[in-house]
Structure 1
């Protein structure tokens, strides 16, 4: 979820030894790519952020939630092949989006210790190679998309406009995290459409809930870069909220929970959905209570915990299959 920036300075290489003390690493040194992947593949895997899989979860889970919502409304289990297709598509499109962001961000990333060792600013992958990576990931994703029905195909094509515009939102609005919410949760609509062939008000409400969820967790994430953003003149909800970031995150999460419950009600989801939705709300409230604008490492931990939050929603929608007097 790296944010796009503009800089007039030329990139310079920076080694890990040159990083100032206390700077958060772009990814933990113990990640599976550094430990197990072949040396030649590591720059490519890092370009697609496969060393930081939480982003795959956060892009995939709205799609899974949309599939689960449709399945609960239809009284049947989610289609495992459809879940697999959304997982692979999310992993590829997240990789393509990260590479595109790095192409746009490359000059600024070279000046920031936390991002200077990314493959493009570090000189491990050229801009031309990165573009080929983006095209390749998008091409394979499109092959998956065309198997999901015409409504899903149309939604998938429309999502490209959101993806392409996102890196530039930091320059024109204080709320780029909201645009990320529009982008990252598009899978809720696509997953629902792939399962049903159409859209519904319940799917729209689930999508809206996800937008506010993302607005909250990416506001937390942006705490890590608040000083760099201020120096570069980059806008963010975190900077806009300032010392009120805790109240802002709590408000975003509250709206997300309310919309989620309404989506379940509109979809006539069974009562077992509610306990897991309550756990989702508890998880988000604990994040809001713990967030501190001066605590970058703590913000990263809170951000990563949102994979569990999204899983709770998915599990709740699956549990909502059960309704009194109905067998499946």
Structure 2
């Protein structure tokens, strides 16, 4: 009975931590990291690189998201939209979350060391970058771009994991991710315009207003698509990749069409659900194109 109860508690805690870091949102960075690995390796990378690369990605992402929740716990508790989260509701203790962060960052460093020397050397820098996002919203409306920049480290790091070298292509992929993430984070941030202004948090929606913020998000997504098309030309990709970009463009247009900040469920679809589909469409079409078309 004691063992059963302990298992139930462990499973419950695991569920709480998974919800804390929104583990399902790994679909934002993982597909582009896989594309980067395949292109860098000229095919499927070794199982060793795939395994430790995935572990490094998950460790860094979990640590960063938990750090953000810990640092922003006071703001989350004051915002009616986020007051239900785990730390404001004391569903998880601050010490538990702090320990979770340390463990995940240690996993990230260890996995980086299992990849190559460059990844190991850069791992502390990556931790500083992914952790510092939490503070940018306190002093600059460019925090959305910084968030995108942080998540862009996934495909760049994936390339380094395979080759151990710096190259041009992963930085283009990273810029695509940065612009894409920043764009839909701006869209998501339109829900908190009044709260951010009242509390003194910086964001593009609170600084420029709703309509201008949506125009900026649209411009970022337009440049993102242009860069994806640039990769099509630069790497001599095939029609299947191009079809994926076409589908992604239509989904982005739909995303911008349905934006309604007063409708929380609709905003979740626009900011999260559609973008998870976009990343998977680009991944599947890119892989099919690489292995079966090009």
TM-score w.r.t. structure 2 length?
0.86
1:310 counterpart residue number: 279
The answer to whether the Cα contact below 8 Å between 1:68 and 1:317 also exists between their aligned partners in 2 is no
Q: 1:201 aligns with which of 168, 172, 175?
A: 168
Deviates more, 1:205-214 or 1:229-238: 229-238
Q: Summarize the alignment of residues 96-175 of structure 1 with structure 2, pairs less than 5 Å apart.
A: 96-175=63-142
**SS, match of residue 121 in structure 1:** coil
Of the two structures, which has the highest relative contact order with CA contacts closer than 8 Å and spacing of 6 or more? 1
Quote the Cα distance in structure 2 between the aligned partners of 1:147 and 1:308: 31
RMSD: 2.5
How far did 1:210 drift?
A: 0.9
1:277 counterpart residue number: 245
Cα shift readout 1:202-258 (whole Å, capped 9, x = no counterpart): 211111111110111111222333332222111112223422333222211110011
Quick check: 1:222 aligned with 2:189? yes
Q: Which runs of 5+ in 2 are unaligned?
A: 1-6
Greater helix proportion? 2
Q: Summarize the alignment of residues 63-102 of structure 1 with structure 2, pairs less than 5 Å apart.
A: 63-71=33-41, 74=42, 76-79=43-46, 82-102=49-69
Quote the Cα distance in structure 1 between the aligned partners of 2:108 and 2:255: 33
How far did 1:318 drift?
A: 1.5
Quote the Cα distance in structure 2 between the aligned partners of 1:51 and 1:209: 23
Quote the Cα distance in structure 2 between the aligned partners of 1:107 and 1:237: 21
Quote the Cα distance in structure 2 between the aligned partners of 1:118 and 1:296: 15
Quote the Cα distance in structure 2 between the aligned partners of 1:129 and 1:51: 13
Q: 2:153 aligns with which of 158, 163, 186?
A: 186
Quick check: 1:59 aligned with 2:29? yes
How far did 1:136 drift?
A: 0.8
Does the C-alpha gap of structure 1 residues 85 and 288 become closer, same or farther in structure 2, counting only changes over 3 Å?
farther
Q: Which runs of 5+ in 1 are unaligned?
A: 1-36
The answer to whether the Cα contact below 8 Å between 2:66 and 2:101 also exists between their aligned partners in 1 is yes
The answer to whether the Cα contact below 8 Å between 2:60 and 2:127 also exists between their aligned partners in 1 is no
Quote the Cα distance in structure 2 between the aligned partners of 1:251 and 1:133: 37
The answer to whether the Cα contact below 8 Å between 2:16 and 2:92 also exists between their aligned partners in 1 is no
TM-score w.r.t. structure 1 length?
0.78
Cα shift readout 1:275-318 (whole Å, capped 9, x = no counterpart): 11221222112212222344332111112221111112222332
Work out the number of aligned pairs and report it: 286
